[in-house]
């Protein structure tokens, strides 16, 4: 009885600890933004009209091009896949052996012997499979430039964390962007990202409800012999 009480107490304690940790979205260090390179501020040279630090850059390109710059990604992912296969295999075999003769023309059936035999076998297999999958992801996420490749392409990476009523939602993205694909408003479609990694995950009550238990996964896995 004491062991059962101790087990229940430990279970409740661990459950409370998980609920406390669920309150804050976790930061993934692999998707942390990069700091801009060191930039030396120019010396102030104020004049009668010009004041350093108060200038307005009217003709500067706002598109990301340096390490540390941010870039907005428009998520327009949509995939449709369908696969169908039909298999039908049939095989029939038949073998018969006639009555042999003894000493030339003596029928062995006259002596109560019957050597008539026949063999027949057949196999039939039919299989059919069909798989359909549709995925769609839309929205926006702002990432940062973590590296500028020798050819001028930008390596980007970022993460968005959203705390909802029943858990946390995460959107993580990384890849390579060509500067010419960046729109004038400093945005680019996700379909133009090379080596793209886009992950949409969650944790909490809703995410746990959509997960199959380990015992149920065992019964539908290839390890289960039946």
Strands 167-177 and 194-204, by their bridges, are antiparallel
pTM for this structure? 0.57
Q: Which residues, listed in sequence order, are joined to residue 163 by a DSSP beta bridge?
A: 168
Which of 186, 171, 165 shows the shortest CA–CA distance to 62? 186
Q: Which two tokens stand for residue 81?
A: 């896949």
What does the pLDDT read at residue 104? 56
pLDDT along the chain (226 residues), means of 10: 54 51 65 66 60 62 87 90 83 69 58 63 77 86 93 93 81 93 93 91 69 71 68
Which of 171, 157, 158, 206 shows the shortest CA–CA distance to 22? 206
- Contact status, residue 34 vs residue 146, Cβ threshold 8 Å: yes
What does the pLDDT read at residue 115? 57
The phi and psi torsions of 119 (rounded to 5 degrees) equal -125, 135
What does the pLDDT read at residue 17? 47
146-156 per-residue burial string, b: 16 or more CB within 10 A, e: under 16: bebeeeebbbb
Give the helix, strand, coil percentages of the chain, each rounded to 5.
20, 45, 35
Give residues with Cβ within 8 angstroms of 118, minimum separation 6: 94, 95, 96, 97
**DSSP track, 4-43:** HHHHHHHHHHHHHHHHHHTTSPPP-GGGPPPPPPP-PPPP
């Amino acid at each position: 009885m004491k062991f059962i009480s101790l087990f229940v107490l430990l279970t409740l304690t661990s459950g409370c600890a998980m609920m406390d940790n669920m309150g804050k979205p976790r930061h993934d260090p692999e998707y942390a933004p990069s700091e801009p390179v060191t930039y030396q501020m120019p010396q102030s040279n104020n004049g009668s009209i010009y004041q350093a630090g108060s200038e307005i850059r009217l003709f500067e390109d706002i598109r990301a091009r340096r390490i540390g710059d941010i870039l907005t990604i428009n998520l327009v992912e949509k995939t449709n896949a369908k696969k169908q296969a039909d298999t039908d295999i049939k095989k029939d075999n038949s073998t018969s052996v006639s009555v042999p003769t003894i000493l030339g023309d003596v029928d062995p059936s006259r002596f109560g012997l019957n050597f008539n035999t026949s063999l027949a076998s057949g196999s039939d297999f039919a299989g059919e499979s069909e798989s359909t999958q549709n995925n769609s992801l839309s929205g926006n996420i702002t990432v940062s430039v973590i590296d500028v490749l020798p050819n001028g392409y930008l390596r980007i990476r970022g993460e968005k964390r959203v705390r909802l009523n029943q858990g946390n939602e995460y959107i993580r993205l990384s890849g390579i962007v060509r500067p010419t694909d960046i729109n004038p408003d400093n945005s680019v479609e996700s379909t133009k990202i090379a080596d793209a990694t886009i992950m949409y995950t969650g944790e909490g009550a809703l995410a746990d409800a959509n997960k199959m238990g380990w015992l149920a996964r065992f019964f539908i896995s290839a390890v289960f012999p039946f």
